[in-house]
């Protein structure tokens, strides 16, 4: 069965939204290699509508500029949405209705990992239903100091426990912490 891997960039104070202010100062060659390897180990993306809208506006503009952008544009994409009906980004399928059942079916299909960027309501739905297999926090050594409660990783949700399965420390101070949910 395929794995769903969530990759979330985060500051020390839990900011996952204001990346333009802090992310790129810590994204060096090591991070680019890790991001490229992570994407190469996946053959699908899953995301919510907000992430889709941001990505669909940005990645097609970068087509032909580098291999990473080309892979982002070519990869199979699943968007969980009850409002999006006609996605314009290449190779995109909308998932609506019984999302959990549809994602279970996708996980059972042959293929590589399914990658999700960022943490939001879709991530929580996957976690709550035993569909998220790995959470990778790309922890940046900076305090954002400006995130609103809705821009933090921390959510009003049931407690979830994780087991640390890997760490990858970079010379910029960023650390990728990989966790597997502990299933009860």
List per-residue pLDDT tens for the chain, 184 residues long.
Answer: 999 999 999 999 999 999 999 999 999 999 999 999 999 999 999 999 999 999 999 999 999 999 999 999 999 999 999 999 999 999 999 999 999 999 999 999 999 999 999 999 999 999 999 999 999 999 999 999 999 888 998 877 889 999 999 999 999 999 999 999 998 7
The pLDDT of residue 184 = 74
The pLDDT of residue 44 = 98
As a whole-number percent, the residues of the chain with pLDDT over 70 amount to: 100
Phi-psi region of 175 (alpha: psi -120 to 50; beta: other; left: phi over 0): beta
Give every CB contact of residue 177 below 8 A, 6+ residues apart in sequence: 136, 137, 139, 164, 166, 167
Cβ atoms of 172 and 26 within 8 Å: the answer is yes
Phi/psi for 42 (5° steps) reads -125, 150
The pLDDT of residue 156 = 79
Contacts 24+ apart (CB under 8 A), 60-63: 60/89, 60/90
Give every CB contact of residue 54 below 8 A, 6+ residues apart in sequence: none
End-to-end Cα spacing for the chain: 19
The pLDDT of residue 183 = 87
Q: Give the count of beta carbons closer than 10 Å to the beta carbon of residue 149.
A: 9
Global pTM reads 0.95
The DSSP symbol for 152 reads B
């Amino acid at each position: 069965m395929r794995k769903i891997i969530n990759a979330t960039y985060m500051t020390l104070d839990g900011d996952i939204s204001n990346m333009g202010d802090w992310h790129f100062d810590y994204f060096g060659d090591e991070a680019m290699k890790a991001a490229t390897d992570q994407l190469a180990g996946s053959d699908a993306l899953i995301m919510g509508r907000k992430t889709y809208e941001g990505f669909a506006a940005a990645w097609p503009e970068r087509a032909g500029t580098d291999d990473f952008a080309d892979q982002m544009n070519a990869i199979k994409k699943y968007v969980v949405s009850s409002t999006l009906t006609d996605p314009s980004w290449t190779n995109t399928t909308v998932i609506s209705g019984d999302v959990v059942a549809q994602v279970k079916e996708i996980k059972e299909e042959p293929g590589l990992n399914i990658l999700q960027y960022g943490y939001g309501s879709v991530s929580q739905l996957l976690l709550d239903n035993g569909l998220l297999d790995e959470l990778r926090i790309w922890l940046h050594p900076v305090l954002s100091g400006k995130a609103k409660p809705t821009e933090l990783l921390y959510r009003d949700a049931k407690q979830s426990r994780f087991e640390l399965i890997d760490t990858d420390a970079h010379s910029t101070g960023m650390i990728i912490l990989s966790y597997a949910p502990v299933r009860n």
